Every structure is written in structure tokens, then in C-alpha cells.
């Protein structure tokens, strides 16, 4: 089995900044009471938890002994989830698991509650907002190929043997389609284009060497 010597840490400054953005903007964005704003932010935190949980689940499945390490992003301290070196196909699964959780939870929400926009459901809206914003932020880093070496898009691109901007596109397209579904829930092709894009992203794993 070839060993994949990618960096072993996963950092979350992008996610934390998005949460901060949600915290600041939620009141204005929702234009509603404090309880709804709090639920909206809690939804964002759940989205972040699901993203990181996705990495941890695959660490656990592959026995890649996860650990925590303290890192900093400017003055702000964070924890990084670390893991031991694994094969490229496993690294692909671990690196892309955060995006997988984002896309799967957005799909679950929009399939069950297609008219979410008209509903009073700040928690679900917070999860969806986090998912779309995190995908946009990560794809921006991927298009620019900047950020820490351990960033998810880089690990996914190297193991799938594609250039990183393609991973950026693979993340951004379903997120953009999901955002469009939120505003245009009755447009059927948006639904299926989003699902096809998500499946296509997962299928990139066949390019990773075992």
C-alpha cells in the first residue's frame, strides 16, 4: 500500500470565520427576534460540527488514530484534528468527508423541506447557510490554491490526482445549485443537477490509488 504523506492536520479557521459572520449577520439577515437569531447561529454550529464530525468518522473507520492539536489563526486559537498517514483512497475519504457532510445535510434538508424559505425554521436555515458559505469559502481557497497545506481541497485534489481548482468547482457547483433550490424550489432540473453534481464529486474517489 502506498503511503500518502499529506500533512496530517485539519484546521478550521475558515469555518470559524464563517460562524463569526453568521453570528454578526444573523440578526440582520433574519430580521427577527433573538431566539430565531440564536437558532440560526446554532444551525451554523451544527453544520460546522457535522463537517468536522465527517472527518472524525472516517478517521475512526480507517483506524487513523485521530488526535487534537492546538493551532492559531492570527490571534485566534483553534484545535486541529490530526491523523496518521493513510493510503490515498483513505486520505481522499477523510479529506472530502467534511464536504460530503455539507452536501448530504443540504440535500436532506432541501429534499424534505423544499419550501424552507417560506417556513419559520431558523435552525435548518442556519445549517444550510453554513453549508453554502463554507463551500464557497473553501472553493475560493481551492481556486486560488492558497491556505494551509492541510486544507481539505488540497488533500482531496492530490489524492484524486486532479488540479485543486477542479475540486473547488466540484464543491461550489452543488452548493450554488442548492442555494438556487432554496430560492426556486419548484425548478425540477436544479434538484437533479445538484444531486448529480454531488454524486460526481464522490465518484472522484475512483481516481485515488489504493
Contacting positions for Zn ion (CB under 5 A): 98, 152
Neighbouring C-beta atoms of residue 187, cutoff 10 Å: 13
Q: Shortest gap between Cβ of 55 and Zn ion (angstroms)? A: 6
The smaller minimum CB distance to Zn ion, of residues 66 and 98, is found at: 98
To 10 degrees, what angle do helices 88-112 and 188-203 make?
A: 160
Q: Shortest gap between Cβ of 152 and Zn ion (angstroms)? A: 4
The smaller minimum CB distance to Zn ion, of residues 51 and 191, is found at: 51
The smaller minimum CB distance to Zn ion, of residues 21 and 38, is found at: 21
> Looking at beta carbons, which pairs linking 105-112 to residues 24 or more positions away fall under 8 Å?
105/47, 105/50, 105/131, 106/131, 106/132, 106/174, 106/175, 106/178, 107/178, 107/194, 107/195, 107/198, 110/178, 110/181, 110/182, 110/185, 110/191, 110/194, 111/191
The smaller minimum CB distance to Zn ion, of residues 91 and 152, is found at: 152
Q: Shortest gap between Cβ of 178 and Zn ion (angstroms)? A: 18
Q: Shortest gap between Cβ of 183 and Zn ion (angstroms)? A: 27
Amino acid at each position: 500500500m502506498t503511503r500518502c504523506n499529506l500533512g496530517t492536520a485539519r484546521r478550521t479557521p475558515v469555518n470559524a470565520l464563517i460562524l463569526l459572520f453568521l453570528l454578526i449577520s444573523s440578526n440582520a439577515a433574519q430580521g427577527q427576534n433573538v431566539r430565531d437569531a440564536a437558532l440560526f447561529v446554532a444551525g451554523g454550529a451544527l453544520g460546522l460540527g457535522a463537517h468536522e464530525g465527517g472527518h472524525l468518522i472516517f478517521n475512526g473507520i480507517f483506524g487513523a488514530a485521530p488526535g487534537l492539536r492546538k493551532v492559531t489563526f492570527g490571534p485566534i486559537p483553534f484545535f486541529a484534528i490530526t491523523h496518521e498517514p493513510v493510503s490515498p483512497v483513505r486520505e481522499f475519504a477523510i479529506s472530502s468527508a467534511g464536504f460530503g457532510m455539507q452536501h448530504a445535510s443540504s440535500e436532506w434538508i432541501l429534499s424534505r423541506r423544499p419550501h424552507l424559505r417560506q417556513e419559520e425554521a431558523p435552525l435548518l436555515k442556519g445549517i444550510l447557510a453554513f453549508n453554502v458559505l463554507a463551500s464557497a469559502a473553501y472553493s475560493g481557497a481551492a481556486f486560488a490554491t492558497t491556505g494551509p497545506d492541510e486544507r481539505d481541497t488540497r488533500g482531496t485534489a492530490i489524492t484524486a490526482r486532479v488540479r485543486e481548482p477542479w475540486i473547488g468547482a466540484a464543491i461550489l457547483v452543488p452548493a450554488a445549485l442548492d442555494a438556487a433550490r432554496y430560492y426556486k424550489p419548484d425548478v425540477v432540473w436544479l434538484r437533479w443537477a445538484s444531486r448529480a453534481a454531488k454524486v460526481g464529486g464522490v465518484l472522484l474517489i475512483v481516481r485515488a490509488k489504493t
